[in-house]
Amino acid sequence: MGKDVSPVFFSREDRVRYRQKVRRCLDVFALMLDDFEFDAERPTTGLEIELNLVDKDAEPAMRNAEILANLADPTFQTELGLFNLELNARPRLIEGDGFADYQHDIQASLGRAEDRANKADATIVLIGILPTLTPRHLVLANLSSNERYWALNEQIVAARGEDIGLDIRGVERLQTFTDSIAPESACTSVQFHLQVSPDTFADYWNAAQSIAGIQVGIGANSPYLYGKQLWAETRIALFEQATDTRPDELKSQGVRPRVWFGERWITSIFDLFEENVRYFPPLLPITDDEDPVEVLHSGGVPHLGELRLHNGTIYRWNRPVYDIHNGRPHLRVENRVLPAGPTVIDMLANAAFYFGLVRDLAEADRPIWSQLPFTKAEENFHAAARRGLDARVYWPRHGEVRIADLVPEVLLPRAAAGLDRFGVAPRFRDQLLGIIAERCRTGQNGAAWQTAMVRAAERKRGLDRTTALHHMLDRYAELARTNDPVHTWPID
Residue 4 has pLDDT above 70, yes or no: no
Residue 112 has pLDDT above 50, yes or no: yes
The Cα–Cα gap between 226 and 466 comes to: 9
> Average pLDDT of 382-408?
98
pLDDT-based confidence at residue 146 (cuts at 50, 70, 90)? confident
- For the chain, the average pLDDT equals 96
Residue 279 has pLDDT above 60, yes or no: yes
- Domains of the chain by residue range: 8-37+277-312, 39-261+317-488
Rg (CA), the chain: 22
Q: DSSP states of 237-288 as a string? A: HHHHHHT----HHHHHTTPPPSEE--SS--SSHHHHHHHHHHH---SS----
Residue 394 has pLDDT above 90, yes or no: yes
Residue 7 has a pLDDT of 47
Residue 8 has a pLDDT of 63
Task: Give the lowest-confidence range in 2-6, 64-68, 175-179, 306-310.
Answer: 2-6
Residue 181 has a pLDDT of 96
> Average pLDDT of 280-295?
95
Residue 148 has a pLDDT of 87
Q: DSSP states of 283-301 as a string? A: SS----S--HHHHHHTT--
Q: Is 141 helix (H, G, I), strand (E, B) or coil?
A: helix
**Residue 121 buriedness (CB in 10 A; 0-12 / 13-18 / 19+):** exposed
Residue 76 β-bridge partners: 87
The Cα–Cα gap between 198 and 206 comes to: 14
Residue 121 has pLDDT above 50, yes or no: yes
Residue 1 has a pLDDT of 40
The Cα–Cα gap between 327 and 310 comes to: 22
Residue 9 has pLDDT above 80, yes or no: no
Per-residue pLDDT reduced to its tens digit, 337-370: 999 999 999 999 999 999 999 999 999 999 999 9
Per-residue pLDDT reduced to its tens digit, 249-272: 999 999 999 999 999 999 999 999
Residue 5 has a pLDDT of 45
Residue 10 has a pLDDT of 87
Residue 42 has a pLDDT of 87
Per-residue pLDDT reduced to its tens digit, 462-471: 999 999 999 9
Residue 223 has a pLDDT of 98
The Cα–Cα gap between 6 and 149 comes to: 11
* Closest to 257 in 3D by CA, of 273, 289, 280, 278: 280
> Average pLDDT of 26-31?
97
Residue 319 β-bridge partners: 334
Residue 39 has pLDDT above 80, yes or no: yes
Residue 28 has a pLDDT of 97
Residue 399 has pLDDT above 90, yes or no: yes
The class that CATH gives domain 39-261+317-488 is: alpha beta
Question: What are the residues whose beta carbons fall under 8 Å from the beta carbon of 364, sequence distance 6 or more?
Answer: none
Percent of the chain with pLDDT over 90: 96
